[in-house]
A and B are shown apart, each in its own frame.
Chain A
């Protein structure tokens, strides 16, 4: 699976939009971009994923560049509860040779701190 590069930390003011970048310049055509976040001592929480098009759900928006080499997760109105480590992951679909799905490979993520 393609590797991702994220800034180690970012700050954001409460109520403002948080824009978290991710570089995945070696992404393959069939690999999806997934975002998870992990609040201290809890399991990772799924946020959003996409392949080519921009995606939006109740939690966030995902903007993927046209060449798919980078993406940005946008939390439109950050709150203190959004303070967490955010992981950007690229994941290929099923390995048809083995029948198994590709597991999630987590990097170091971005520590987002929302400031009051």
Chain B
């Protein structure tokens, strides 16, 4: 069965631009969460969606947003990009919020 799929895998953006990252969860999984990984801060939770509703949010500025569609696919958006937003963005899915979480391969974002 296919795992969590994230697109694009790699992208380069300029400061001030915005970016949208996409995530397709494992088939049947309805809960999707997003994490940011940087060398300095490690893996940090961004937000969690279940049934198209944001259920939990990490300590990130409002420039970071997301949404979930009726088919459980999710997108996250970062507006007004800053150099410090360069990171690996990971999407993870689970059957339901309490279940085991499985990660995708991530989207590498470089802001120049």
Which residues of A are interface residues toward B (Cβ below 8 A)? 34, 36, 41-46, 49, 87, 93-95, 98-101, 103-108
Chain B contact residues: over half helix, strand or loop, or mixed? strand
In the assembled complex, the Cα of A103 lies from the Cα of B96 at a distance in Å of: 12
Chain A contact residues: over half helix, strand or loop, or mixed? loop
In the assembled complex, the Cα of A43 lies from the Cα of B33 at a distance in Å of: 13
In the assembled complex, the Cα of A105 lies from the Cα of B32 at a distance in Å of: 16
Contact for B106 among A43, A100, A101, CB less than 8 A: A43
B 24-37 binary contact with A (CB < 8 Å = 1; else 0): 00000001010100
Contact for A44 among B31, B90, B97, CB less than 8 A: B90
Smallest distance from the beta carbon of A87 to chain B beta carbons, Å? 8
Q: How many A-B residue pairs have CB under 8 A?
A: 60
- Interface range on chain B (Cβ under 8 Å from partner): 20 to 34
Instruction: Find chain A residues with CB under 8 A from B64 CB.
Output: none
Which residues of B are interface residues toward A (Cβ below 8 A)? 4, 31, 33, 35, 42-45, 48, 50, 55-56, 58, 88, 90, 92, 94, 96-98, 100-106, 108
Smallest distance from the beta carbon of B45 to chain A beta carbons, Å? 4
Smallest distance from the beta carbon of B48 to chain A beta carbons, Å? 6
**Contact: B104 with A100, CB < 8 Å?**
no
**Contact: A42 with B105, CB < 8 Å?**
yes
Given contacts A43-B105, A94-B97, contact A100 B55 (CB under 8 A): yes
**Contact: B45 with A105, CB < 8 Å?**
yes
Given contacts A45-B103, A101-B48, contact A93 B43 (CB under 8 A): no
In the assembled complex, the Cα of A98 lies from the Cα of B92 at a distance in Å of: 20
**Contact: B97 with A100, CB < 8 Å?**
yes
**Contact: A104 with B105, CB < 8 Å?**
no
